[in-house]
Copies of this chain bind each other. A is one copy, B any other.
Amino acid sequence: MLTDQISFADRFDGITGSAIREIFKMIAKPDMISFAGGNPSPSALPDLAASRIAQEVLQENGKQILQYGATEGYPPFLQSLKTYAEDKVGCPLPAILPVTGSTQAMDLLCKALINPGDVILVEDPSFLGNLQCMRLYQAKLVPVPSDENGLLLDALEDAMKQYHPKMLYVIPNFQNPTGKTLPADRRGPIAKLAAQYGVVVAEDDPYRDLRYTGRHLPSIKSFDTEGWVVYLGSFSKVISPGMRVGYMAGDPLIIRKCTLGKQSSDLHTANLTQAIVDRFLREKLLDTHIPAICADYARQLQAMLDELSLFPEGTKYTRPEGGLFIWVELPEGIDTKDLLPKAVERHVAYVPGTHFYAMGGHENTLRLNFSNSSLEQIHVGMEVLRDVFRNAW
């Protein structure tokens, strides 16, 4: 029997699958109010524009789009992407690689850099999908302490001295899961520390354009003079996650190694999805699309914050300036993982915060997403959560 005999690779030891992906299956019911995912609102998904554009690009350039492409990217998209990304990141980007969602960027960066046992510094908490990616490369994850605004520079330097890490993974804007934004005056120093200690920084920035208040801050990459910062970008939150188009930009030596890795990961990202995003950029559709999304999401965020203000005393939560998530801390002793089934029973879902911590713990925390629920759903769902949590107070 295969089941008795087969042995899988060591990299899967202790890997059970993304907690979020498993929660998704549990809550796949039509009448569920889900604060669990990181999904864009259906109204933010430009299906009619995509339909028109898909037809046009295939009619105009179908033979090239359907043929094998270069691992380095679909040529017209490489052009429009460079202009777009340099404007966004705020500095020249000597090398840029389109990838199959920024999930793949993280995978390629680990493939290029990580030997088993290598240390990666991570925010605590951090995005669990990428924590799983790092674990599959058998990296040792070392969490770096934060304050209410994000990574602490002293703690970061201490960790670099002590652990000689290969990489630092950081989400500077509207962090997943906390919604925190790293202050401008910590960004330059992070780039400097990276160069000083020879640490690659993976600056993961999928939410930047979803800013509802305040001003855009300069990227960590824009302070990088030596090439240690790799910027990971995504079109998942501003066009479509289902298309799986993202990019990574940084030092040509690192991007070249990632390109070699991509040859045997998926050869190249689908030309069609690259061509569709290319057309979105060339037609400047994001100039009107992003403000429209932001106006909706800002209202949803405010509605959820209003509901949280009604939670019992002792409830702490972040007040993000953008992004998709609010982070909630309940009094110690309340276990949000234990309470999840009770909430799901009443058709409301969230993600217990413990999953986002590299070392677990923090059972009294949870992540709430507001982008994928209507104002009415936010009102009803938050009332349910208030009730579920109050009973455990």
Contact = CB atoms under 8 A, between A and B. Distances in A.
B54 A58 contact: yes
Interface string A11-52: 110011110010010000000000001111010011110111
Interface string A245-267: 00000010110010011011111
A243 B266 contact: no
Nearest to A270: B244
Interface stretch (A62-70, A77-85, A147-155): A62-70
B67 A59 contact: no
Interface stretch (A107-115, A205-213, A296-304, A313-321): A107-115
A272 B54 contact: yes
A263 B132 contact: yes
A241 interface: yes
Interface string A278-291: 00000000000000
A129 B199 CA distance: 31
Copies of this chain, complex-wide, total: 2
A71 interface: yes
Contacts of A104: 265-266
A18 B71 CA distance: 11
A241 B59 contact: no
Contacts of A10: 115
A343 B48 CA distance: 49
Contacts of A266: 100-101, 103-104, 107, 244, 265-266
Contacts of A270: 100, 242-244, 270, 272-273
Contact of A265 (B8, B107, B243): B107
A253 B115 contact: no
Nearest to A24: B70
B37 A66 contact: no
Given A18-B263, A50-B62, A68-B37, A254 B6 contact: yes
B271 A242 contact: yes
A136 interface: yes
A264 B3 contact: no
A260 B240 CA distance: 23
A104, A112, A265 — most chain B CB neighbours (10 Å): A265
A87 interface: no
A265 B103 contact: yes
A67 B40 contact: yes
A122 interface: no
Nearest to A105: B266
A268 B270 CA distance: 13
Given A100-B266, A264-B132, A46 B66 contact: yes
Given A8-B113, A100-B100, 6 more contacts: A6-B200, A10-B115, A47-B59, A51-B59, A68-B241, A272-B273
Q: What 3 A-B pairs come out closest when comparing CB atoms?
A: A47-B62, A51-B58, A133-B264
